[in-house]
Each structure stands twice: as structure tokens, then as C-alpha cells.
Amino acid sequence: MRQWVTKRYQADLKKIADRYQISEIVAEVLVKRGLFDWNAMDRYLFPEEDALYDASQMKDLQKAAGILARKIEEGKKIKIIGDYDVDGVMSTYILYHGITLLGGIAGYRIPHRVQDGYGMRSYMAQEAALEGYDTILTCDNGISAVSAVEKAKELGMTVIVTDHHDIPRENNREILPPADALIDPKQEMCSYPFQELCGAGIAYKLIDYIFKERGMEGRAKQFLPFAAIATVCDVVPLLDENRILVKEGLACLEQCDNIGMRALIGALQFQRKIRAVDLGFRIGPCINAAGRLEDAALGMGLLLEQDKGQAQRRAERLVALNEERKDYTAEAVRQAVGQIESDGMLQDSVLVVYIENCHESVAGIVAGRIREKYYRPTLIVTKTKEGLKGSARSIPGYHMQQELNRCSGLLKEYGGHAMAAGFSLEQENLVPLREALNKNCTLSEGDLVEKIIFDREVPLEEMEESVVRQLDFMEPFGAGNQEPIFAKRNLAVVSLSLCGKENQIARVQLRDGMRLYRGVDFQCELHLGEGIRSRYGDGAWEALKNGQGRDYEIDILYQPEINQMFGNVEFRIIDCR
């Protein structure tokens, strides 16, 4: 059972509400986002493009721009090396198309997830040299590619690294590749005021700077939708500059003239205005599916496609791949749940689950789903041609990369950060790894109870359409800027109907006092089901699903939204007890 908590601050909510002409409900949410003065609230509520920071403050960005300008002028070939996720594809597109618009000669290389793995490799430098490239430009990778950059320099190539990942360290010193220019705002010597840009955000800043230097002011706006998609999908905090990039990118997406992106939007059949959540859960996963199941170059090909008919076919292929990816994921989740519950693994604080036939590209998604269901650090391990590989997802208080480091003697390779990691190991080390992780684990029982922070308890009748529309001022929502959550106790579930591919969605009628309200639960077994079962037993939930239950009283956490078809307010249930 998840724990519901809320923060309490002293603030003059009426004064805030009067200043911005908003409800006191919304005013309280703003305060609970840590906005305690007018300047902070103004910048949050009105994120304008002209508030973006000066790109020249980023270490080596001017130097990189100068090198690229010279290479373009000299007609030198520039090879862009990206990554196979959404951020990598969008970064590659921004740099490739930007350089070609500037008159440069560019090519690109997006590593294959299985055949190449992450990042620039030494053989990629050799390939580029043999193909006649003078310069390598990385995006969303490169900060840890010391040997690959050294190889490129040995071959006489110019190398520019653009990355956003943490800087590798040894004996508390940064280990940096010997690039001619190295852009990463997380460098110690970089004074850029915001360190949380994704790879495409940095690529956008670089291209925008070069365009402005060439007198092409405003031309880089065409790349904002791609920077926005990457920012949401890479789960960087939607605060400060990222918030501006996503808001402006969403606005530009409505008029985006990229033939491939228009085809993908059409294939997804949006029935309403595209929001940040759609970038992360609909558009981005289609781009990602190519890299997971086939080749990320398919996503790049879509963005570069100039023929409308071919673009439509490419888009439909990506949508189909994403549906296939969902099927792989659902089957692997089912296997993992069955194994965990049949083998008594819930006694473990850290779940290490071996699914031999799990597609390695979806192991991270499966780990995230299992972590969400059981609220445990989770490692999903699968069998590949090279041996066992795994993906890990963690919870607050458990630094996954550090814990793997403590077990490094059992692993062939590993890397990651606090909340996610990847690793490989020999078959005989699987059980010892599970034992070691659990033996080393210091998480308490309290740490293994998920905490959901809600903003305020609000009766459903007070959540009027005007208030819900005011909450839209807080868009875009995502990491670091979560959609507001509200609570309501003592509601009655009057009726329930199931829908969705696996009957995972419940549409419900809720009674609050004498009035009825529409609600929806997109993970009903996890939310409504768990709440009803915990109060009334398993039979009550089964009876309710079969239309035979009585009015079961529940407490809910909810998010209000406007039903686009009917225009009324309905309530999305995100937890129940």
C-alpha cells in the first residue's frame, strides 16, 4: 500500500490568486512547486524563448561553432555520431540538417543498439576516416569515449564532442577525451547556468548560435519540436531552460513542416492538441521502437524523408514496431510477475529476475514496470549471444550504479546512474549477484513503501472547468514538474466498465455527496483493484468488475482533465485506498 503525503507551506494564497487571476487551488500548487517569490513564479508561468541563456556561456561552444564554420567553408566532410534512443536521433537530426542548411557536407552514424552498443567506438573513427571524413561531431555521447577520440586524433581527424552526461572521474579528477572542442555543461570549468539540458537541447543551442552568427536569426526555430521531443523522452527535469524548449517546441510542432514528423503525427491519429505527455508516451516511443527492435536509423530516415507517400509508409512502420514492442513488453512483464510471485521473491529487497527470452531492448522497460508494481529496485536479466545482459531500475534511496560497483567482481561490464543502469555477466554469476545485492542492501521496510506526494484535498465539485484550464498554465508536465495531484476521501464507486487491450482501463462513475462524476483508471488492477481488495477483499473487486458490486466507498488520488469529446471535467485516478 502506497503512502500519501503532502507538503505544508505558509503563503498568502489569495494574494497570489489575485495577482495571476487564478484559483487559490492553483495558487497553492504553485507554492508547493517551490515558487516562493514573484520572479520565480513569473519565469515559471511565462516561459518565453527570449529567456533562454546565452549559448556562448557554454564552455567550448564558441570554439566548436568556429571549427564547424571553418570546416563548412572549406568543404570538409563532417561525420555526426549519435545514439540509438530518441535523444540521440533528435540530436543527430538537428546537427545533420542544420549543417546541410549551412551549406556543409555531413553524414551520420547512429550506432546499432545490439551490434554497436552505446556511444562512439574506435572502429567508427576508422570507418569515418576511410570514408573521407575530416571531422567527427558527437551528440548525446562522447564524454566517456576517450579511446575512440584518441583513435580519431591519431588518424588526423578533428573531433567535437557534444554531450550532457556526467563526466567520468578517477581519483576525484575529470577524465576527458582529447577532443578539439568539448561541450558538456557538467564540466567543472563550464559556467553555463543550467546543467540539465539533454543532448538535443545542446545540439539546438549550438546550431542556433551558428545560425545567428551567420545572420540567420530565427531559422533554428524549426528544430525546437525535435529538441522538445528529446527533452521529454530523455526524462531530464522540465524546469528552467528545458521548460522553455518544450513549451516553444510544442507550439512549433503544430506548424511543423517536416514531412516525416507530420506523417507520424497523422499515423498516430491525434484527436486533440498535442501535449508534453504525448511526446513521451506516443511520439517518442515510435522513434525509440526502431532502435529497440530493428535500427534507430529508421527514425532518422523518417525525419529526412521528402516524399509524402514514402513518409507515410515509414511512419506506419514505426507505429507498427511500437505496437510490437508493447507486445514484447507485456509478455515479459507477465513472465516476470509469475516468476516473482511463484518463487517467493518478494522476500527480497532487490528483485533480480531472469527472463531468458526477453528481448534485450525492452528489458529496461520491463524493469521499470516491475519496479512500479512492487516498489523494489529491479534488475531484469536476459540471455543474448554474448552472454547474460541486464537492465536495472531503482527507487529513491538506492543508488543502482554504486550498488553494482560493489558487485563489480561478478560483472563483465556495467554503467549507469542512481536510478538506472545496464550490465552484463556470466551465467554462473547470476545467483551470486542476486545474493550479493540483497546481502548488501540497507533499505528499510519504510524505504520499500512508495510515497506519493499530493498537492491538496479538493472536493470534486470544486474542480470546475475554469480551475482545470488554469492548471494548464503549469504545462509542460514531466520530470521535475509533475502534473498536480489532488485527494478526495469517502467517494462511492457506483459502476465500473473495463476496456483496453487487456481490460486494464476502468471507466467508473463516482458519487460525491448527491452528484455523480466520471472517472478513469488506466491501471485499474494496480489502483482501484488494490484499493477495493484491501478494504473489502478479493471477491468485492471481482464482483465490481462483473457489474454485481455495491457502492464501495474509497479514497482516491486524482488528476482532473477536460474530456475533449464532451467538454466536461473527468477525473483520472492515480491511486486508491
Confidence category of residue 255, pLDDT binned at 50, 70, 90? confident
Instruction: Compute the distance between CA of residue 565 and CA of residue 134 in angstroms, rounded to an integer.
Output: 55
Q: Residue 320 is which amino acid? A: A
The pLDDT of residue 271 is above 80: no
217 phi, psi to nearest 5 deg: -55, 130
* Of 352, 376, 512, 319, nearest in space to 433 by CA: 352
Interval 287-344: pLDDT, tens: 999 999 999 999 999 999 999 999 999 999 999 999 999 999 999 999 999 999 999 8
- Residue 138 amino acid letter: T
Rounded-to-5 percentages of helix, strand, coil across the chain: 45, 20, 35
Q: What is the mean pLDDT of residues 385-400?
A: 93
Supply 441's cell numbers. Answer: 542492501
Better-scored residue on pLDDT, 567 or 548: 548
Q: Among 92, 77, 78, 80, which residue's Cα sits nearest to residue 300?
A: 92
**Among candidate residues 162, 166, 172, 206, the one with its CA nearest the CA of residue 186:** 166
Contact in structure between 394 and 377 (CB atoms under 8 Å): yes
- What is the tens place of the pLDDT at every residue in 525-550? 989 999 999 999 989 999 898 888 77
Cβ atoms 381, 312 nearer than 8 A: no
**C-alpha span between 434 and 408 (Å, rounded):** 13
Confidence of residue 428 (pLDDT cuts 50, 70, 90): very high
Task: Kindly state the cell numbers that stand for 184.
Answer: 558538456
For the cut 80, the answer to whether the pLDDT of residue 565 exceeds it is: no
The pLDDT of residue 361 is 87
CB 159 within 8 A of CB 135: yes
Q: Which three cell numbers stand for residue 253?
A: 510542432
Beta strand 158-162 with 135-139 is parallel
- Amino acid identity of residue 442, one-letter, is T
Q: What is the pLDDT of residue 513?
A: 87
| pLDDT above 70 coverage of the chain, percent | 100
Helices (H) and strands (E) in the chain, counts: 21, 20
Q: Can you tell me the distance from the alpha carbon of 88 to that of 106, in angstroms, rounded to the nearest whole number?
A: 16
At 273, the pLDDT band (50, 70, 90 cuts) reads: confident
What lies within 8 Å, CB to CB, of 518 at 6+ separation is 507, 508, 509, 510, 563, 568, 570, 571
**For residues 402-411, average pLDDT:** 94
* Domains in the chain, CATH or no CATH each: 55-256 (3.90.1640.30), 343-448 (3.10.310.30), 452-576 (2.40.50.140)
Q: What is the pLDDT of residues 499-510, one digit of tens each?
A: 987 889 999 999
Assigned C-alpha cell, 478: 514531466
CB 87 within 8 A of CB 140: yes
What pLDDT, in 10s, does the model give residues 490-500? 999 999 999 98
Q: How far apart are CA 251 and CA 424, in angstroms?
A: 42
Residue 334, C-alpha cell as written in the block? 507477465
Torsion over CA: 275, 277, 281, 284 (sign): positive
Q: 3-class DSSP state for residue 153? A: helix
Cβ-Cβ contacts under 8 Å for 516 (sequence gap 6 or more): 494, 509, 510
Q: CA distances (Å), 498 to each of 163, 372, 528, in order?
A: 45, 22, 12
Strands (E), 321-441: 351-354, 378-384, 387-393, 413-416, 420-425
Q: In terms of Cα–Cα distance, which of 285, 268, 295 is closest to 325? A: 285
If residue 39 lies in a helix (H) or strand (E), which one and from where to where? helix 38-45
Residues in the chain: 577
User: Which amino acid is located at 304 in the chain?
Assistant: L
Residue pair 33/154 in contact by the 8 Å Cβ criterion: no
CB proximity list for 230: less than 8 A, separation 6 or greater = 86, 87, 90, 91, 198, 199, 200, 201
Contact between 457 and 24 (Cβ < 8 Å): no
DSSP state of 167: P
Please state, in angstroms and rounded to a whole number, the distance separating the CA atoms of residues 469 and 467: 5
